């Protein structure tokens, strides 16, 4: 049902929840199931009608909020509603750039519509590991997604590292890609951390965006995974802000100059376990 158009999903959920709540209210379902004697008298017709109307109205409000939160993201919706980024402010964040290898070649083989389904399936599988590790999907850019954490939230248990390897494991465990597309997705990723400016932008369409050198550096690191032939690169700046990195093997690649950036960056290649 989640793959259906918004109005279909919303309408079906609203109908189901409204009917169930009304049944519980009007028929004393708990009393009936437990075979107890109802103490209260049946509701008058006018009160019953108001109860049904109230049940559907509340179900409408809750389901609508939940459905919209799935479009913009629950945290983004909360930030917009409560105005956290109405005024721009500085904060420290991790940014994980995750790229799907070979999507351009795949597009030539199976066509753009099938590639769209492929990317949607990959991002769908990745959503649960991201939520499990407290990450927030910042944006999708073509065959790439950007995941972010406040440093205070992502530091514990090296969540950005664990998140990337959990995404890899989830994709490898999903058999749909080999069956439907004849390929198992392979990922490249880069992690960087530091201060960024976050704030709302836009008028007819409002969005929360982050600006700063951290974003550019993370993007350049992701591009460097091809040159250095390493699937996951992490800056020393990000690595130093993480707790609980002992389960991960780190290969020091030294200080590297990144395209479009004057200051070199100390880089590590990270793998899942020692």
Both tokens of residue 102? 């070979």
Query: Residue 252 burial by CB count (10 A; 0-12/13-18/19+): exposed, middle or buried?
Result: exposed
Query: Which helix (H) or strand (E) covers residue 269, if one does?
Result: strand 265-271
- Rounded to two decimals, what is the model's pTM? 0.79
The pLDDT tens digits for 148-171 are 999 999 999 999 999 999 999 999
Q: What is the pLDDT of residue 183?
A: 83
Mean pLDDT of the chain: 85
Strand 89-100 versus strand 187-201 pairing type: antiparallel
- Output DSSP code: residue 38: P
The pLDDT tens digits for 194-242 are 999 998 887 777 788 899 889 999 999 999 998 889 999 999 999 999 9
- Confidence check: pLDDT of 37 > 60: no
Both tokens of residue 132? 């499990």
* Cβ atoms of 187 and 198 closer than 8 Å: no
Boundaries of every domain in the chain: 6-72, 82-271
Ranges of H-type helices in the chain = 6-27, 29-33, 45-72, 74-82, 103-110, 112-132, 151-154, 159-173, 176-181, 213-228, 236-239
Q: What is the pLDDT of residue 180?
A: 84
User: Of 174, 172, 165, 185, nearest to 115 (Cα)?
Assistant: 185
The pLDDT tens digits for 249-263 are 999 999 888 876 778
The pLDDT tens digits for 15-34 are 998 888 887 777 666 666 66
Overall fold of domain 82-271: Alpha-Beta Plaits (3.30.70)
The pLDDT tens digits for 67-108 are 887 776 777 777 777 777 788 889 999 999 999 987 777 777
- Where residue 270 falls (left for φ over 0; alpha for ψ -120 to 50; beta otherwise) is beta
Q: Between residues 180 and 192, which one has the greater pLDDT?
A: 192
- Confidence check: pLDDT of 173 > 80: yes
């Amino acid at each position: 049902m989640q793959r259906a158009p918004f109005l279909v999903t919303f309408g079906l959920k609203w109908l189901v929840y409204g009917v169930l709540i009304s049944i519980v209210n009007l028929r004393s379902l708990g009393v009936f199931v437990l075979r107890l004697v109802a103490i209260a008298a049946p509701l008058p017709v006018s009160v019953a009608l108001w109860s049904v109307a109230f049940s559907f109205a509340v179900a409408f409000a809750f389901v609508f909020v939940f459905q919209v939160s799935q479009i913009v993201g629950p945290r983004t919706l909360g930030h917009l509603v409560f105005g956290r980024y109405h005024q721009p402010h500085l904060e420290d964040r991790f940014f994980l750039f995750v790229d799907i290898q070979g999507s351009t070649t795949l597009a030539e083989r199976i066509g753009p519509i099938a590639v769209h389904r492929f990317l949607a399936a990959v991002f769908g599988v990745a959503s649960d590991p991201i939520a499990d590790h407290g990450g927030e999907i910042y944006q999708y850019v073509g065959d790439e997604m950007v995941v972010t954490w406040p440093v205070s939230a992502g530091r514990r248990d090296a969540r950005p590292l664990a998140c990337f390897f959990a995404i890899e494991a989830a994709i490898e465990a999903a058999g749909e890609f080999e069956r439907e597309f004849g390929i198992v997705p392979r990922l490249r990723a880069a992690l960087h951390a530091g201060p960024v400016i976050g704030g709302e932008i836009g008028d007819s369409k409002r969005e929360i965006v982050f600006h700063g050198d951290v974003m550019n550096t993370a993007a350049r690191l992701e591009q460097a995974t091809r040159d250095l032939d390493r699937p996951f690169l992490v800056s020393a700046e990000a690595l130093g802000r993480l707790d609980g990195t002992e389960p991960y093997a780190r290969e020091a690649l030294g200080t590297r100059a990144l395209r479009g950036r004057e200051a070199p960056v100390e880089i590590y290649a990270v793998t899942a376990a020692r």
